Structure 1
Amino acid sequence: MTYRTVKLLADATTPEDLFHGQWQARPLSPRRVRALPGRPLEPGLHQGLEGMGGDRATRLQGLLPASSRLLPHQTPFGRSGHRTPARTVAGWILRHPDSLSEVDQLRLKAVMAHCPELKALAGHVRSFAQILTERQGQRLPEWLDAVRQDDLPGLHTLVVGIDRDRAAVTAGLTLPWHSGVVEGHVNRIKMLKRQMFGRAGFALLRKRVLLAP
């Protein structure tokens, strides 16, 4: 809690004071407003920001033309102009193509038609899924080179992480062995330690670790 918040609470004499005057947002200085590259500020926007209080985001949204208003977490699809949440599109991409209904397949094609980057992303995700499920680790270098050729910063971060330990990743995508059983026992021991924290000594903890299923 900031000093300003504490002062506002201390100066309020009645509950109504909390909702009138004192809690209005401070005016936004025009010098703090910056235009995006290639998108100059709308005429009169600086004047509209001066003295603006309350929910500035909502009021600022109303000052912008419809084409400039933001719709968070949404991606356009289809010819009708409807919109679908980005999470839904991600689900379409991450699922096996054969598991998608005919309607979802058509919608995904419409989304990728509007966004070439999304089409490239879907191709890389499905290629990696095939490498993972069919244990084709020998294809990993080819997949990494293909990802680097596209402008997909999110996947580039993944590529950098894989390059740091490529031998281990390749082995995990190729060999049938894994450390799942070991990790399961580690989680079981951690659970027992949390259950007995401050309740018993090492001797009882040792018996539970050895005997508990």
Structure 2
Amino acid sequence: MPHLKVPSDRIRVLGVDDFALRKGDSYATILVDLERRRPVDVLPGRDAEPLAVWLKGHPEVEIICRDRAGAYAEGARSGAPQAVQVADAWHLWHNLGEAVEKTVSSHHACVRTVFENTVSAAPPTSDDIWLTSPPPVPAAGMLDVCGRERRLVTRTRERYTAVRQLLDGGSTLENICRTLQLDRSTVRRFVRATGIDELLVKATNRSTILDKYKPYLHQRWNEGCHNTAELHQEIVTMCFAGSIQTVRGYLRSFKAAIAAPPVPRPAPRPRRIVRWIMSDPANLTADDAVDLKEIRAGCPELDAVAHHVRDFAAMMRDLRGDRLPAWIERVLADDLPALHSLAKGLSRDIDAATAGLSTPWSSGQVEGQVTRAKLLKRQGFGRSNLDFLRKRILLSP
């Protein structure tokens, strides 16, 4: 890369992050002076070696803010052993959120048990639906309205079993895709799943355009109206945009029943529960707080997760990274595999994670510089190489 003179001021606090030149194919690393709030260089790739070489030429660097990528940790360790590495607090919180989501998904059966043991409130009238526009109701659980296992659930179980058998037999992802005639992303999702429950939770919590009209359909069916065309027309006047086939398919299972079963109280989706757990309790609505309390009472594992999240949030808020080792010990003492994985990863990067929870430095403004770099890249319409893009990033006001 031709030489480009960059600002020669001493850099004490450095921010490091990567951005895509071509997503999934090629990347670059941007270096930002966090005190002067400006980029100081752009390196090819996102490997440890280029960063280490650059840092060896800048022995004045005292603090390096980064995400939790192992390559940047190694590059900073070998190129600037004198510098304190700071793992970005947002990335730490994001990693915790991912672990919480996996835990909620694996224990969603407990949540469904808590919610399906109670029935929803009385179905709204047509005027209620028109005026209040209630939120969509999540799809039912593993069974249909007649108590039979849903076809989606059966298919998911069969595919998961087939994928795991081929994988255990030594087949590659490509061979599994060809054998089962599945898309690569589908096979990868089945391979990465921690178990069948994680897949079933996602499969059975898909919303449909019919969800918010189901209580009304149940009510009208029990009143004696079994004419699908008439029922479809009624909910069309309530702004239902689907076809009559959608209504007919849902009502078909009612034919064998004397009356439509009561609509069970819908269990919230995993991501909604994660949002409740990851939010400040003071910011939850009264209804959300009550639902979360019921979930925690019905599932000890999720109650433990909520306690760990509150403790972690307190560490971040109070800049008490010194509490991290004790937090890791408490997590490892509970039967929470997803959080165990996070805790072990933090143990391997304990110094940087502790610094990230103890200092005000973060990679926030680095993310802003990444956004700016992507804008400059797009302005080149894909016709500039890395050298030209580097000049634009460093020299553009």
So what's the TM-score if we normalise by structure 2?
0.32
The equivalent position to 1:84 in structure 2, one of 247, 265, 268, is 268
Match of 2:315 in 1: 131
Runs of 4+ in 1 over 4 A off after TM superposition: 200-207
Q: CA RMSD in A?
A: 3.3
Structure 2 counterpart of 1:97, one-letter code:
P
- CA shift in 2, pair 1:127/1:210, >3 Å: same
- After TM superposition, the structure 1 = structure 2 runs for residues 31-180 of structure 1, keeping only pairs within 5 Å, are 58=151, 72-73=201-202, 82=265, 83-180=267-364
TM-fit CA distance, 1:114: 0.9
Structure 1 gaps, min length 5: 1-55, 62-69
- CA shift in 2, pair 1:196/1:104, >3 Å: same
* Structure with the largest fraction of strand: 2
CA distance in 2, matches of 1:175, 1:198: 39
* Structure with the largest fraction of helix: 1
Structure 1 counterpart of 2:310, one-letter code:
R
Q: Greater relative contact order: 1 or 2 (C-alpha under 8 angstroms, separation 6 or more)?
A: 2
CA distance in 1, matches of 2:153, 2:360: 56
- CA shift in 2, pair 1:181/1:72, >3 Å: closer
- CA shift in 2, pair 1:203/1:101, >3 Å: closer
**How far does the alpha carbon of each residue in 1:107-134 deviate from its partner, in whole angstroms, 9 at most, with x for none?**
1111111100010011101111111122
**How far does the alpha carbon of each residue in 1:3-45 deviate from its partner, in whole angstroms, 9 at most, with x for none?**
xxxxxxxxxxxxxxxxxxxxxxxxxxxxxxxxxxxxxxxxxxx
CA distance in 2, matches of 1:185, 1:60: 45
- CA shift in 2, pair 1:60/1:165, >3 Å: closer
So what's the TM-score if we normalise by structure 1?
0.57
Structure 2 gaps, min length 5: 1-148, 155-198, 206-262
The count of residues paired between Structure 1 and Structure 2 equals: 146
